[in-house]
Copies of this chain bind each other. A is one copy, B any other.
Amino acid sequence: MDLHDTIVKQAETAKSASRRLAVLPSPIKNKALEAMACALEDGAALILEANAADLEAARAKKIKKSFLDRLMLDEGRIHSMAEGLRQTAALPDPVGEGEWETVRPNGIEIRRVKVPIGVIGIVYEARPNVTADAAALCMKSGNAVLLRGGSEALRSNRVISSLLAKAAYDAGIPEGALQFIDSDDREAVGEMMKLKGLLDVIIPRGGAGLIQRIVRESQVPVIETGAGICHTYVDEGADLDMAVRIAVNAKTSRPSVCNAMETLLVHEKEAKEFLPKVAAELRERKVELRGCERTRGVLSDIEAATEDDWSTEYDDLILSIRVVRDMDEAIEHINRYNTGHSETIVTRDIQRAHRFQREVDAAAVYVNASTRFTDGFEFGFGAEIGISTQKLHARGPMGLNELTSTKYLIYGEGQVR
């Protein structure tokens, strides 16, 4: 079979499995997740062997170090994947949960309940742990899943997914509910995007290039995730020590992730005192600073920020800084350049805090806290499939609830219209 036929066949099997998976009781799903966790632990040697081969091939291609680090597995990381499966098993099952109900004047009773979405396609880069995480969330929420990981992790993903699928099936999950697209052909993603009617949604996880390609070309609905140009705005009268702490944390605690700060906005009245303070701390952590003209009036030795800087997600130890006249200018800047992810204001003024939260257009708008908290675990969801930066279906961190749709159940006694 060629790639197209293979993938269509996989999706058809997944769709058929999804019907049975959707009505599977929680205890069976939970037992399956536990069995999947054990399967990873028992199969650790096999996984590590495959991973070593992936790593060797990647090294031969002179792929950069941070990439190799994400690709690499060891006993500890396999254990973490297994723990993730067990933690997901322990979360409440959203399926069947009532959202709303009413009795209409004609006597019909209407309830809206959560149901699985159906078949979910997950497209991700060469991070083998995503295979287990995504499988866990999809099984728990009653969704069949087609997994398509980055080609550099093909051998690792093949072993992990087949261990998971076998354990799931043996524990009562319908055959075909958890499938891996075993191809390093880039066109596999192209084929997935055409599976309208079989796939209910594609969730891409990874770099902006991958995500934008899928958003542009997919006929299957997409949930856009992950791009984060996040801002910290230091308001007039803010607690400057707090502002330094938040800015340094937002920039440096993990610069490669989407909830890290990329641009710092500072009220003009605070610039002279605040900028040298924050610059000292940031430089100590090797952050390269780029600034607008007024910033450079205070920090004379930094490079000029260009228009490009305001719209770049560095994902690195680089920060662009702009001095603004007032909060209007800060909000305007944010709404123009942000990606709708996370923004924060450091302020003592309650009215400006509220206005900032109301007028800034983003999934998560903070007052006096670091943007780094935008995360399914930090929000208490217990798990995360990604962070939606779009407004439809889900916005912000997506956990099990966001992997559900709804259904109206109506009872009557013969009513007609």
Residues in chain A within 8 A of chain B (CB atoms) = 19, 22-23, 102, 104, 108, 110, 112, 117-118, 196, 200-201, 215-216, 219, 221-223, 239, 242, 245-246, 248-250, 253, 335, 353, 357-359, 361-370, 372-374, 378-380, 390-393, 395-396, 405-417
Contacts and interface: CB of A to CB of B under 8 A. Distances in A.
A408 B362 CA distance: 8
Contacts of A19: 335, 359, 361
A369 B108 CA distance: 8
B407 A363 contact: yes
Contact of A407 (B117, B216, B365, B370): B365
A232 to B, nearest CB: 11
Contacts of A364: 407-408, 410
A222 B249 CA distance: 38
Contact of A201 (B104, B392, B411): B392
Q: Which 6 A-B pairs have the closest CB atoms?
A: A369-B412, A249-B416, A391-B405, A393-B393, A242-B414, A372-B417
A327 to B, nearest CB: 14
8 contacts: A110-B380, A117-B392, A215-B219, A364-B408, A367-B411, A378-B417, A395-B406, A395-B407
Contacts of A110: 379-380
A412 to B, nearest CB: 3
A408 B396 contact: yes
B373 A108 contact: yes
Contacts of A410: 364-367, 369, 373
B411 A104 contact: no
Contacts of A393: 392-393
A416 B23 contact: no
A392 B253 contact: no
A412 B368 contact: yes
B407 A368 contact: no
A353 B408 CA distance: 14
Contacts of A407: 362-365, 395-396
A191 to B, nearest CB: 16
B369 A411 contact: yes
Given A19-B335, A363-B408, 7 more contacts: A22-B361, A108-B369, A200-B392, A253-B416, A368-B415, A369-B414, A378-B417
